[in-house]
Structure 1
């Protein structure tokens, strides 16, 4: 059995793990990273990147379909388009492959040793890795757990056959004629809307009173309107109960649903996409061999990502919400610098969250309700219907909203909904990180014509003198 020693061992090469390892290598820390799959983790391989590729393809196909149907206001006409989902998936896989190679190259450039295999703890300083060439023992002064998360499986709708997770949805060879989506959160709606644009008949089943319940109703209203325009049936207050084979030739399977009024219904579907959340990967790697405190299902950490055991850190989805790749990356970079002897801490107030529905959603900081709980506030909202750039992109449905303290105008939160607003996330995050006040945003000259002008106008509105509404 081979044995190696290092100063830092990172378990998991997802966004948090590989960034941690790269930064540690840059700082001269002797680093080893262990990964059972491909570098990049869920985000790069079966999450963020491939889903955005599929969403973009769906948007392009829908745009051309409108042109073919004579519905384009731009005066463009084309012949009827045809979608080859197999080619689309192959294109998506090519992007993922290039990024995989990029991550592997960056790890090598930073001097990080990569071990391919499944790591299992022996004790707080030692892991055993099952590789293709046999077992390897790795002893480390410090260990970072970055094992990520996995889709939650419902006991009455186990994955397999027609029941799929987001992973399988991103690898389909053909668009299902009928798709049932269980869960009206961001993953379910992102993929549900994409498949609807590609021609699927989509039904969303959500147990809560409304979809995207983590956002306020005003912010999600344009998305709900778009769901209806795409012909997506949304069943709120409805609970999925299981799978029923209808028993009729060619009819396929059906999802059993208890509707909001307590009645039973069947939703016919070729595929049933279950997106009811994600769970931390805390099993299968010997957690029982070490004594780590938990926060529910997650590993408990402090503001420096230290676990309850000396010399063991944890980052990313395995440590709880918000389960965001960029949060994991920021944590990974910080931990690497701590291990290298730098003074660092963690402040998560300015983490942007983006929902890639149509239209897109962006939130940073506190919502209006959360801010109100802390004291008197000012809110400024600017609609994209009054923004020239949004109008030229046919993206008038949406707005930018700024929430600030009433006394000193310190910005507490920023939200936006609209076409392409994900690209405003950096400006929103920077404003909170820099402690901006309404006057700072209002006094910053924003380029014209851009949707970013809506940010300035929202601040001006909160101050009582918006210029374009």
Structure 2
């Protein structure tokens, strides 16, 4: 290899070290490829640094604070409860984020993945250039996996600056806001809104569609809305955000509902209306890679673009912007480069909102299954009938199974309730493996456990319920 005007030769290069990129790089190395990964900012990507992981840390801190104030039902009364938000942020950054990202970098090195720092720019389908602080270096490569992720969308009238913040800004506030306006009641907005509400913030959510968490079914969302109201959160749906006026020590948010002008003052306004794929300023058009009008890269079921040696995964391809989706697609792309016949199959792709309570779903809803031509039924069991949920004083919510009428094959599941993200895991395996309700009903579940709600719902689907 010669550094300078000549291109350094690479076998497989991965662009982006987020949950899609670093997983793809490690899997490609495990499959015998010589791998380099290019990252301009964060090892671990948005998810580990300023997304999934730090948000869950703040959510956990919010739960601890909220529970300290609201445990009277257990006979527990706490006095002089306070939160030192500086310590909370230090714990999040040093004990959670730094530990995970450092671990990812160690795993890359352990698997002999070369880490290249800088911005990648395609020169053609076999050459790229990496710009960094010291200059630039050209590389040639045999195969490439693009995993550059996405960034928050900025909307007119709400330029990110000062008291108008994106999710990264919300995760790194120096103090707990007295009042927070959240524009966009999707997963990110609802999660962060509830996290701060649990810490005592007065939160208002402005959502443009008819309901918050619009990707989930309404009866699931109603349970979350009830808990939001219990935390003094205000929800306005069908609300159109118009403008934010930064007053220096506060911000005024102007919006409309049914054509009527409204405004609200807050300490900060969080914009969480979606994310934009990071596919610009990379030279993709120079490499001849086909994209959609939305800036997404077109790929086949192995993640292959129209250039057979270039793959794309994660937020920059069609589908939900989920870290676990990116990781899954990264493994498929790495295997495809190694000559395997793996293809993506999203039938059991989990969707989770870490709200209070959590919401989790996978597979078909009853409506979607019927639209797909399946003859199905839905069976719903309440957490109120679960002993462990009662002992936790978390009885709101339910688990619903969608099964075929003829042979009780499990094709979908939706949950709202305590630890829904964990309860869903068993059902993901069931959907992925084509199990039927009897397989779940005959599986002995530990007692008392939240997982028993799965067994009880399966028995309900079979027409032989015990606990309802």
For the superposition of Structure 1 and Structure 2, which TM-score range results when normalised by the shorter chain?
over 0.9
* Deviations, residues 59-103 of structure 1 (Å, cap 9, x unaligned): 000111224xxxx11111221211111111111101111111111
CA RMSD between the two structures: 1.3
1:217-366 residue pairs with structure 2 within 5 A?
217-244=218-245, 252-259=250-257, 261-297=258-294, 298-366=296-364
Give the unaligned 5+ runs of structure 1. none
Q: Greater CA deviation, 444-453 or 338-347?
A: 338-347
Aligned to 2:28: 24
Against the structure 1 CA distance between its residues 117 and 245, is the aligned structure 2 distance closer, same or farther, given a 3 Å change threshold? Answer: closer
Aligned to 2:189: 188
Q: Report deviation, 1:378.
A: 1.5
Q: Greater CA deviation, 333-342 or 163-172?
A: 333-342
Q: Secondary structure at the match of 2:177?
A: coil
Q: Distance in 1 between matches of 2:276 and 2:459?
A: 42
Q: Secondary structure at the match of 2:112?
A: coil
TM-score, normalised by the number of residues in structure 2: 0.96
Question: Contact 2:163–2:246 at 8 Å: present in 1 too?
Answer: no
Aligned to 1:468: 467
Question: Contact 1:21–1:32 at 8 Å: present in 2 too?
Answer: yes
* Deviations, residues 43-68 of structure 1 (Å, cap 9, x unaligned): 0000000000000000000111224x
Q: Report deviation, 1:245.
A: 5.2
Q: Secondary structure at the match of 1:295?
A: coil
* Deviations, residues 135-181 of structure 1 (Å, cap 9, x unaligned): 11111001110000111110221111111000010000101111000
Q: Does 1:208 align with 2:206?
A: no
TM-score, normalised by the number of residues in structure 1: 0.96
Q: Greater CA deviation, 291-300 or 138-147?
A: 291-300
Q: Distance in 2 between matches of 1:451 and 1:245?
A: 46
* Deviations, residues 348-373 of structure 1 (Å, cap 9, x unaligned): 11111111000001101011110122
Aligned to 1:126: 127
Q: Greater CA deviation, 31-40 or 334-343?
A: 334-343
Q: Report deviation, 1:428.
A: 1.5
Q: Distance in 2 between matches of 1:348 and 1:207?
A: 28
Question: Contact 2:167–2:272 at 8 Å: present in 1 too?
Answer: yes
Aligned to 1:165: 166
Q: Distance in 1 between matches of 2:463 and 2:401?
A: 13
Q: Distance in 1 between matches of 2:292 and 2:466?
A: 48
Question: Contact 2:29–2:35 at 8 Å: present in 1 too?
Answer: yes
Question: Contact 1:86–1:172 at 8 Å: present in 2 too?
Answer: no
Give the unaligned 5+ runs of structure 2. none
Q: Distance in 2 between matches of 1:436 and 1:375?
A: 16
User: Paired residues, what number?
Assistant: 461
Aligned with 1:10 (options 11, 14, 34): 14
